[in-house]
Structure 1
Amino acid sequence: MSDINIRFCVIDADHIVDENNAYVRLWGIDKNGRKVLCVDRYDPYFYVQLKDELDSNVGIKLFREQLARLKEFGGGIKNIELVKKKLLGVEKNFIKIIVRQPSDVQRLRDIIKNWEIVNEEYEYDIPLYRRYLIDKGIVPMGWVEVRGKAKPCTEHCDIKVEARDVIIFKDAPAQSHILAFDIEMCGNDIIMISMVDNKNFKKALAWGWQKGNKRVEILSNEKELLERFISLIKERNPDIIVTYNGDRFDFAKIRERCDVYKLALNLGRDDSVVVFTKRGRIRSAKIKGIAHVDIYDFIEQILGPSLSSEILTLDMVANELLGVGKKQLEWQDIESLWRKREGLDKIADYCLFDSELTLRLADYILPQIYELCRIVGQPLFDISRMPYSQLVEWLLIRNAYRKGEMVLNRPKFDEIRRRREAEPYTGGYVYSPKEGIHEDIALFDFQSLYPSIIITYNISPETLDKKNGEEHKVPGNDHFFTTKFKGFIPSIVEELIRKRIAIKRKMKKVKKNSIEHRMLYNRQYALKILANSSYGYYAFPGARWYSRVCAKSIAAWGRKYIQDVIDFATRNGYEVVYGDTDSLFIKDCDKKRAKNFLEAVNKMLPETMELDLQGIYKSGIFVLTKTGTVAKKRYALLDYDGKIVIRGFEKVRRDWANIAKETQEKVLLAVLKDRNEKKALDIVRATIERIRSGKVDMKDLVIYTQITKPLNEYDQNAPHVAAAKKYVGRGKVITEGSVIGYIITKGDGSISDRAVPYEYAKDYDPEYYINNQVVPAALRVLQGLGYKEEDIFSATEKTQSSLESFFRKSFKNRIFRR
C-alpha cells in the first residue's frame, strides 16, 4: 500500500493483539469529518527494582540468567534495559522489561515478584493504550499527524493507516458526530428507543402499535426493534454516543434484552460487542471506536456539588443548565397507553425529547470534558467517568513520565482498609459567631487556598521531613517540608495554577459570549477542578501518592491563614460574623472598607495566595446547631437585588418535601427582607393549618431520594428503599441512579412501612409532615432568632404580645446596632 500523511483529532484509543504483537489503535476524525483509524505497534513494559545491596551490573546479570530459565515465556520477553528513574525524588536504577503482549506483563510480574533478588515491581498495571498516550505525548481531543502506510479498512472507517511517525498538534477539538438515545420500558420489555444526533437525524423505533409515521418506525416485536437499533447505530456511525444514566439503565437493559434473544450487541467499529467494564459498583458500556459518554456519570462525579439541582435527574439538571425540562408523562401512563396500543405520538414525543435533552446537555457539558481530556491526557470514555481522585492521579502519572519519576504502585486492599480506619484529623477552621441577623455583610474567600499552600510550602511525600538546611515547619506539629528541591506534586499544581491565571487574563480580552471565551472558560474550569482536587487526593485511601501527613499539614496551614486573617480583621476594627475553612464574613462592611481590607490582607499573604471579595450583601442570618456549635455552611444572605443565597438549609437539600423547603424560604424572606418575625411565625402556623385541614397539594409532600446501589444491597429498609420495592412490585424498573418520590401516608407501622410511591398515595400523615418536615425546617431559621418549638404552636394573645416585644428588642439590639 502507498504512504500516507493524515492529520486527525483523536477521540478514542484501545489496543489489540495480532500475530503475537501488541498494537494501539487511535480512532478519530479529520477536518472533513472522515473517520480515521491509526494502528501503531507498541510493546508493553514494566519496571523491576532489585535489592539495594546488589551492584547494578551484577544484579542485571543475575536477573538475565534467571529470565533465561523461564522456558514457558519463550520469545515473550523482547528485551531488558537498565534505566535510571527517580523514586520519590531519589534517583535509582531499575530494569525495564519489554514484552510482546499486555497479558505477558502480569504473567511475568507474578513470577519474578517472588525472586530473592527482586525488591519491587512498578508500572505493571497501566493499560497499554494509556501507556502509549503518555509515552507519545498524545492527548485525546487533540490532534496528531500520522505518517505511515495506508491499509485496507475492514473496520467502519474511511481511512486506515499503520503509523511510522506520530507528530502532536495543539488545535482545538474537532466538531464530532454525536448521537444520543433513550429507551422506554413496559415491565421487562423495551417498547421504544429514540435516537437523535447533531446532523439532523431524529427517529423513534417502537413495536406493538399497528402503524407508524415519519418519526416512528414500527417493528414487529422487541427482537426486531433491537436489531434495528443496532443497524441504525452502524448506519449513523457516530464518533460519540451520549446517554443519561446509560451505563446503569439504557445500555444495561438493552444488553439484558439482547441476551434474551441471543443477539450480539456488536456496536463497535470493528464489529465487536459492547463491553461492560467494571468501575467500582458500576459497569460501564464501552464501544470500540466510539466514545460512549454517560452524562449522568460526569455530573454525579464532578459537576454535582456545584449544581443547585436537588436531584440529578435529567429533568432537574436540564432545567438548571438549559432552562428547559422533560415533557411530563408518568411511567404508569406509558404502560397503560402501550398495553392499549394507544398514544404512539404521545410516548414518542416524550421519548424523543429525552434524547434531544441529552444531546443538548452534551453540547453544554462535553466541552468541559474535552478540556479535562486534553489536560489529563486520557480518552473521553475514561475521563467522563473518573472521580476527582482519578483525574488527579492520571495527571500525575502522565507528568511522572515527563519528569522522570517512577509511578508509585496502587495500595493493596489491606493498606486501603488501614488508611480508611485511621482516626480522622482536624480539617478546616470554623469561626463561631453569635447567631442571628447581621447587616452589610462582605463575603471574602481565598482563591485556591489549598493548592496555594501546596505550592508555597512545597508539600509532597518526597519533601516531607527532609532536612536540607531550610525547611517549612508545619504549624502545630513536628513535621516539616524541605525547600532544597521542588516537590513533584507541587510542581504539577503550580503549572495548573499558572496556566489558569494566564487563561483568565486572556479571557478578559475576549468577547464574553464568543466561542473563544467559552473555550477558555472550559479550560480554566478544568484546571481549577484539578488544582482544587490535589489536597483531597493526598487523603484518598486508594491514592498512589497517598500521604496523610501531607493532607494534615495542608489543613494545618489552612487553619493558620484563616485564623490570621480573622485576627487581623479584629485588630483593625472589623467584626467577623462567620468563618469557614477558606472564607469569612464581615458585617458593617461597605465597598470602601472591603477594598481597604482586601488590599491590606493581600500585602501580607505569600505570592501564590490571594484573598478575593465575592460580594457584599444587604443582610444575612447564621445558624447554630442544637448543640450550640456553628452549623458548617448553614447561612442565608440577601443581596441588594432582593435575591437570597442559601447554603446548608433544607431549601437546597433533596431529602425534604417541597412544603418544608418553601416554608423555610418564606420564613427566610420574612426575617431578612421584610424584617418581620411575626410574619415568619404566621407563615409556619398557616402552613401547619393547611396540612391539618388536608388542603395541601400532594405533589408538595413528595420526598425525593436517589437509589445509590442495588436494592438487595441495602442493609436497612429506609423509606426510599421501601418505596422503591413497592415500585418494583408494580412492575417499574428501578436501577442505581433511579430517583424515588414517595409520600408518608396514614396508618400503622413504621415510617418505612408507610412510605408509598407518590403516584399511589391516597392520603398523607399530617403529623409526620408537621413534626418531621415543616417545623424542623422552620426552626433551623427561627432558633437563630431565639424561638423554640413551643413558640410556633402557641397562638395566644399573650404569646403574640411577648413575641412582638421580643421582635422589637431583637431588631433594635441585633440588627440596627453598629
Structure 2
Amino acid sequence: MSFHHSSESVYAFRWAEKYVNPGDSEKRRVIEVELTDVARASHFARKIVRLGGYRDFEVYNVDVPAEERYLYETGLYPTALIHAEQTSRGLMLSLAEDPRQLDYKLPPFKRVLIEVEADDRMTPSTKLRKLTIKTRRDCFELDGCESEILIQASRLIEDLDPDLVFTRGGDSTVLQYLAYRAASAGVREEFYLSRDKELLRLTRKRGRVVYSYGRAYYVVPAYRLFGRIHLDLNNSFILAQSGYHGLVEVARACRMDLHRAARAGIGTIMSSAQFYEAIKSHVLIPWRKTQYEEFKDALSLLEADRGGLVLEPEVGLHFDVWELDFSSMYPQIMLRFNISPDTINCSCCPDSPLRVPEVGYRLCVKRRGLIPRVLEGLIARRLALKNLARRAFDARARKVYERRQAALKWILVSCFGYLGYKNAKFGRVEAHQAVCAYARELLLRALELAREAGFEVVHAIVDSLWVRKPGATRGEVEELAEAIEKQTSIPVNIEGRYEWIVFAPAKSRPGPALSRYFGVFEDGELKLRGLMARRSDTPRFIKALQESMLHRLARSEDPREACGELVKLVREAEARLRRREVSVEDLAVKVRLSRDPEDYVSSSAQALAAKLLRREGYEVHAGQVVRYIYVKSAKAAERRVMPVELNPSSYDVERYAQLLWRAYEEVAAPLGLNVPMTRLDRFLKGAMHT
C-alpha cells in the first residue's frame, strides 16, 4: 500500500512502533498517517478499509477527538497551570504544576448565567420578552424592544467578558431561539455571544438516541461558543451531580475538555481516561472493536452470566441491625485482581495460578492490565480527597473536596458496566464476568465471617450486608469489618446501626423485594431505597407526603405505633387535593420515553402525552422526558393525561388520591398496618401504572 502527498487527506506519513493490542508484549511496525484535516479522519479510514477489501487493513486512533488527543500526547489538562514559551517551532506549552496535587487552585474564570423569557412557548416565531444576564454579584435585566434587547446583550457580554457562559436549555432551545430572533429582528450581524464575535448558528444537527442499560436517552447536539465555554445546566450529568468543582476534577483527571466533559456520559469520560493511558503507553486505540466474546457451551455460559450475589431478607420490621458495605467493590476487585480485557486468558501466562472463581479464567501475573492502571490513580485520588474533606475545618473547602471525590465516584461506578459494553474500545464480556464472580466469592466470605463471629445475616445484596447480634457493640462490628477486609483485601465501611429497618414485599410475586427498604440509623438519619419517594416518576406532592410519613416514623422507637398519625397525614394531603390547593407543577409525572411517539402501540400515559405534544408541534423523541398531569375527561380516553407544556387547568383528584394511599400502603403494609378499606378498595380498582 502506498500513500501520495497529492491525496486530499494525507499531509505526511511515516513508520512507527506501537502496541497493537494492550496485551501485546512486543511493539509492531505500523504506518502513522498525518492528515490535512482531522475532520476527514473517518472518511480516510473508510477508504483504507475499503481498499483492503474490509479484511486486510485495521485502522486505529481514528475517532479520538483532536482536542483530547492533544491533551493525551502533551500531558496537559483543562485548568492546568502552564508555562508558555515562544520558540522557532511555535508556542510551546508545558505543565507548571504537579498533576497529582489535590488542593489545586483554579483560574479566576469569570462566569455569567443567561436566562431568556419569550412571549409564549419558545419557538422561532415567538418574540423575545426579556433577557437576563447574571454574574456572581449583579443581575442585568434587559427588556423592551426586541432588537435593542439583543444588541444590549451582546454589548454587555463583551463588557463583562466571561470565560464561562451558563444556560438552562442552551443546547436544546435557548441559543438557537436567540439566533432566530436576532435574524427576525434584523440584528443578526450585531448579535453574538462568542469572544471572537462569531455569529450564532441558525442551522442545527438533529439529536440522537443512545441506550444505556436498556433505557433510551435523547442527546441534544452541543452548542459551542467560540473563545468561551458554554455549559448547559439542563444537559450535564456531572454538573447536576457534582457541580462545577466536580466537572473540573473529572476533566483534569480524565483529560477531557470542559465543554465535552460537561455533556458526556460517565462511560465516555471513563473511556477518555483509558485512551490517555493507552496513548501514554504507546497502545493503539481500535476504530472498530475486533475482540469478541469467546465461545462457551450452554453450561459455561449459565455459570458465567450470573451477576452479583443476593440473599432474600425476611419481609417486615427488624431491630438493631448493622449495615456493612464494601467500598467501591467492583473497581477495587479490578485493581486487586488485575482484571482487564488484556489480562483475561492472556497468552503470556498459560499456567497462571491466579484463576477466577467458578468460571476458571486465567489472569495475567506478569504485567499490569490497562484498566487497573487507569483505576489505580483514580481510586487513590478519590480516597485522598475524601480524607481531605474529613479533615477540612473550613465548610467551603470541605464542600469542594466532597464534590471532587463524588465526581470521581461516578466515573469509577461506570468502569464495571463499561467492561461489558459491546461498543467499549477496551471492553470484554469475560472481564465483566470475572468481576461478578469475584464479587460473589468475596460476599460469601464476608457472610461466613459474620456467622462465625456470631452475627445473624439479615440481608445481603452484591456489595452490602446487614447483620445483627443481641447486644453487639460498635467495637465488635469494627472487628468484623476488619476481618472481612483482611480476608478479601477490599476496604469495608460500616454504614451504621439501624434502630430499625423494614424490608418491603415484592409487588409482582410472593416474597421480598430485593432492593426496597427503609430504616432509621441511631442518629435519626433515614435511609430508603426503591420507594415512591425515590422514584423519578413520582409527583413532588406524593414524594413530599411519603417523606413526611417516613420522618414521622423515624421519631418512633417502634414505627408501628405511628399508624394513626400516618393516616392523618394522608387525609390532610387528600383534603388539600380536593380543595384544589396543589399546583400543577407539584402533580406532574415525569417519564422518560422508551421510543418515539408514533412507535408506541399501547395507550400508556407517557405515550398519550408524547403524542399530544407531537400533535401540538413540539419536537418529541425517544429518550426525552415528558411531564404530564392526570386529568378527568369524559370525552375521550386519550385525554386522560395532559402535558405540562399545554397548561392543564385542572387535575383528576381521584387519580391522585389513589397515589396518596398507594404511598401510604408502601410504607404501612410491610409494618403490618392496615390501609383504610374504603381507600384500599379504590386503590385496587385503579392504581396508577406509569
Q: What is the TM-score with the length of structure 1 in the denominator?
A: 0.69
Aligned-pair identity (%): 19
Can you list the C-alpha shifts for 1:252-286, whole angstroms capped at 9, x where unaligned? 32233345456256433333334656663311110
Match of 1:179 among 91, 94, 112: 112
Matches within 5 A, 1:173-572: 173-187=106-120, 188-198=126-136, 200-207=137-144, 219=145, 222-261=146-185, 263-264=188-189, 266-274=192-200, 280=208, 281-298=219-236, 301-302=237-238, 365-411=243-289, 425-466=305-346, 467-513=349-395, 515=397, 517-572=398-453
Check the 8 A contact 2:239/2:262 in 1, yes or no: no
Which of 577, 583, 587 is 1:702 aligned to? 587
Amino acid at match of 1:599: E
- Residue 567 to residue 792, structure 1, CA distance change in 2 (3 Å): farther
Distance in 1 separating the partners of 2:615 and 2:8: 55
Cα drift, residue 174 of structure 1: 0.6
Q: CA deviation at 1:631?
A: 2.1
Secondary structure in structure 2 of the residue aligned to 1:384: helix
Q: Comparing both structures, which one devotes a greater share of its residues to strand? A: 1
1:89–1:405 CA contact under 8 A, matched in 2: no
Cα distance 1:794–1:717, how it changes in 2: closer, same or farther (>3 A)? closer
Stretches of structure 2 lacking an aligned partner (at least 5 in a row): 98-103, 121-125, 209-218, 294-300, 682-690
Paired residues for 1:154-173 under 5 Å: 163-170=90-97, 172-173=105-106
How far apart, in 2, do the equivalents of 1:77 and 1:689 lie?
74
2:65 aligns to what? 127
SS of alignment partner, residue 180 of structure 1: strand
The answer (yes or no) to whether the contact 2:560–2:673 under 8 Å persists in 1 is no
Q: 2: CA distance between counterparts of 1:224 and 1:710?
A: 42
Residue matched to 2:461: 580
Q: Provide, for residues 621-646 of structure 1, a one-character-per-residue CA deviation record: whole Å limited to 9, x for no partner.
A: 11120313432431111133444322
CA distance 1:721–1:177, change in 2 (3 Å): farther
Relative to structure 1, is the Cα distance of residues 436 and 124 closer, same or farther in structure 2, using a 3 angstrom cutoff?
same
- Distance, in Å, in 2 between the alignment partners of 1:630 and 1:533 is 28
Q: How far apart are 1:708 and its partner, in Å?
A: 6.1
The alpha carbon displacement at 1:618 in A equals 1.2
**2:652 counterpart residue number:** 764
Q: Establish whether residue 96 from structure 1 lines up as the match of residue 32 from structure 2.
A: yes
Shift of 1:487: 0.7
Cα deviation, residue 578, structure 1: 1.9
Distance in 2 between the 1:204 and 1:396 partners? 45
Work out whether 1:596 is the aligned partner of 2:479: yes
1:68-87 aligned at under 5 Å gives the runs 68=4, 71-73=6-8, 76-87=10-21
Distance 1:398 1:657, change over 3 A: closer
Report whether the alignment pairs 1:143 with 2:81: yes
Structure-2 separation of matches of 1:550 and 1:83: 28
Q: Give the count of matched residue pairs.
A: 633
Rounded to whole Å, the distance in 2 between the matches of 1:709 and 1:197 is 38
Aligned twin of 1:777:
663
Task: Report the secondary structure of 1:114's partner residue.
Answer: helix
Mapped to 2, the partners of 1:612 and 1:686 lie a distance apart of 36
Once residues 107 and 730 of structure 1 are traced to their aligned partners in structure 2, the CA distance between those partners, rounded to angstroms, is 40
- Cα distance in structure 1, aligned partners of 2:7 and 2:286: 29
Match of 1:647 among 504, 512, 529: 529
In structure 1, stretches of 5+ residues that fail to align are: 1-62, 151-161, 208-218, 307-363, 417-421, 796-818
Closer, same or farther: CA 427–618 of 1 in aligned 2, 3 Å: same
What SS does the corresponding residue of 1:645 show, helix, strand or coil?
A: strand
Tell me, yes or no, if the aligned pair for 1:242 and 1:295 is still in contact at 8 Å: yes
Bigger radius of gyration: 1
Q: Secondary structure at the match of 1:542?
A: coil
Q: Deviations over 1:442-481 (max 9, x none)?
A: 1211111001110122111111112343243222224232
Describe the shift of the 1:633–1:194 C-alpha distance in structure 2 as closer, same or farther (beyond 3 A). Answer: same
1:651 Cα offset (Å): 1.6
Output the CA distance in 2 between the equivalents of 1:616 and 1:433.
17
Whether the 8 Å CA contact 2:168–2:234 is kept in 1: the answer is yes
3-state SS of 1:242 partner: strand
The question of whether the paired residues in 1 share the 8 Å contact of 2:386 and 2:405 is answered with: yes
Q: In 1, are the aligned partners of 2:42 and 2:62 still within 8 Å (CA)?
A: yes
**Counterparts of 1:471 and 1:181 in 2: how far apart (Å)?**
60
Q: Deviations over 1:693-724 (max 9, x none)?
A: 93463339713315669985673664356457
In the alignment, is the contact (CA less than 8 A) between 2:335 and 2:376 conserved in 1?
Answer: yes
Aligned match for 2:494, one of 609, 613, 619: 613
Alignment of 1:621-700 (within 5 A): 621-626=502-507, 627-658=509-540, 660-665=542-547, 667-668=549-550, 673-674=555-556, 675=558, 677=560, 679-680=562-563, 683-684=566-567, 687=570, 691=574, 694-695=578-579, 697-699=581-583
Q: In the TM superposition, what whole-angstrom CA distance separates every residue of 1:362-405 from its partner, at most 9, and x where no partner exists?
A: xx821211111111112110111111110000111111111121
* Kept after mapping to 2: 8 A contact 1:724/1:740: no
Instruction: Determine helix, strand or coil for the equivalent of 1:458.
Output: coil
State which drifts further: 378-387 or 777-786. 777-786
Partners of 1:292 and 1:640 lie apart in 2 by 45
The Cα of 1:549 is off from its aligned counterpart by: 1.6
> Mean Cα displacement is larger for which, 380-389 or 460-469?
460-469
Encode CA deviations 1:140-188: one digit per residue, 9 max, x unaligned: 11122211179xxxxxxxxxxx933222122622110111110011222
1:119 shift after superposition:
2.2
| Greater displacement, 449-458 / 587-596 | 587-596
**Matches of 2:534 and 2:403 in 1, distance apart?**
26
Query: What RMSD over aligned residues (CA atoms) do the two structures have, in Å?
Result: 3.7
CA separation of 1:541/1:189 partners in 2, compared to 1, >3 Å: closer, same or farther? farther
Query: Counterparts of 1:463 and 1:794 in 2: how far apart (Å)?
Result: 57
**What is the CA deviation profile of residues 750-786 of structure 1, one whole-angstrom value per residue up to 9, with x for unaligned ones?**
37534475964445342x3344x13332232333234
- SS of residue matched to 2:500: strand
TM-score (norm 2): 0.81
Moved more, 174-183 or 653-662: 653-662
Cα shift at 1:234: 2.8
* CA distance in structure 2 between the partners assigned to 1:646 and 1:665 by the alignment: 10
The alignment partner of 2:3 has SS state of helix
- Deviations along 1:520-546, whole A, 9 cap, x unmatched? 444433433333321121123331112
Taking the aligned partners of 1:88 and 1:149, their CA distance within structure 2 comes to 36
Deviates more, 1:581-590 or 1:683-692: 683-692
